[in-house]
Amino acid sequence: DIAMPGMDGLTVLEKAKKIQPTLIAIIVTSYDDSAYLERALELGASAYVLKDGASECMQQCLEAINSGEIFISPSLGKPAPRLPDLNSTDGRALDILTEMERVVLSKVAEFKTSKEIAGDLNISFRTVQNHRANISSKLDLHGSHQLVSFARKHRNSLVGERGRTISRRHSERRSGVR
């Protein structure tokens, strides 16, 4: 839950994911605020379920998580966001991304924050934010939850040998190593 005595659920999630990055976490809360939803997904939550209606959708939630998808409660005050192309394994949408955007998207698929991605790739936080915005624009994704869901669904198609080369070269350029 988000509201807990002592330490809020998002802080617990952040600390738990640092200790166990592969942890599967389901946020069950009464907060239907999109800012909480986006932050929970950015921190690596696998699902965001509202308490009212949680019992009715928990089976669907677990099935989605088991399939590697992000689940967002349909009992939100508005319909759950429609996530483009998430049921398709067609990777053609990825062809419009630059190699660096694919590298950044692969890091998003690992539930890494923009700050963590910046550190991994030795680029600025702002550059990561720009890449995320460009990816979202090109793929018509709205909000962090759609970006994370798309990245998770297509994570196996994102970065091959070329992506690793790009990030290594980029890292060498930033550190002065050639």
Q: For residue 28, give the 3-state DSSP assignment.
A: strand
pLDDT at 92: 63
pLDDT digits (tens, 9 = 90+) for 74-119: 766 443 443 444 334 445 667 788 889 889 999 998 888 899 999 9
Highest mean pLDDT among 47-56, 62-71, 79-88, 114-123: 114-123
Q: What is the pTM of this model?
A: 0.46
Cβ neighbours around 83 below 10 Å, total: 19
The architecture (CATH level 2) of 9-72 comes to 3-Layer(aba) Sandwich (3.40)
Q: Which CATH number fits domain 91-175: 3.20.20.70, 1.20.58.340, 2.40.160.40, 1.10.10.10?
A: 1.10.10.10
Pairwise pLDDT comparison (47 vs 2), residue with the higher score: 47
- Domain positions in the chain are 9-72, 91-175
- The DSSP secondary structure of 31-98, one letter per residue, reads ---HHHHHHHHHTT-SEEEESTTHHHHHHHHHHHHHTT--EE-TTSSSPPPP-TTTT---GGGGGGS-
Q: Taking Cα atoms as reference points, which of 26, 73, 68, 18 lies closest to residue 50?
A: 73
